[in-house]
Amino acid sequence: MTNPAFDAIKSDITNNDVVLFMKGTSSMPQCGFSSRVAGVLNYMGVEYKDVNVLADEAIRNGIKEFSDWPTIPQLYVKGEFVGGCDIITEMTLSGELDTLLEENGVAFSKEAADKIRESNK
């Protein structure tokens, strides 16, 4: 038995290097946590697909089950679940996100990442 929501999720994370399942869109986030993660990615110049979970109840519930992670937003890089808002924030501040993106060949602005860290010291 196939799950259409799982199929759509799998397709998105397979066909895009970086995917953010979020409430709202990258240009119009609908919650603070989604806004923070989208803001980091946008500021760092990361190209990513945004999936608005508010537009599809099956995806909204399905992504939580798919990743076995209870909250949204959820970030995927090269098909791997990275984490939610707190994890992405910590990884950004520690430089781990830079490393993850570099190791996966995802372009981003190192200068912007450094500025985020500088302003959060």
Is 85 labeled as ligand-binding? Answer: no
CATH number of the CATH domain containing 87:
3.40.30.10
User: Considering its fold, how many domains does the chain have in total?
Assistant: 1
Span 11-64, pLDDT tens digits: 999 999 999 999 999 999 999 999 999 999 999 999 999 999 999 999 999 999
CA neighbor of 17 nearest in space, from 109, 116, 102: 102
**105-111 average pLDDT score:** 98
In this predicted model, which residue has the larger pLDDT, 87 or 2?
Answer: 87
Whether residue 1 is predicted with pLDDT greater than 80 in this model: the reply is no
Residues 91 and 59 sit within 8 Å (Cβ to Cβ): no
CA neighbor of 120 nearest in space, from 88, 97, 96, 93: 93
The three-state secondary structure class of 21 is strand
Whether residue 121 is predicted with pLDDT greater than 90 in this model: the reply is no
The three-state secondary structure class of 106 is coil
What is the span of the domain harbouring residue 11? 4-119
For helices 96-103 and 110-119, the axis angle rounded to 10 degrees is: 170
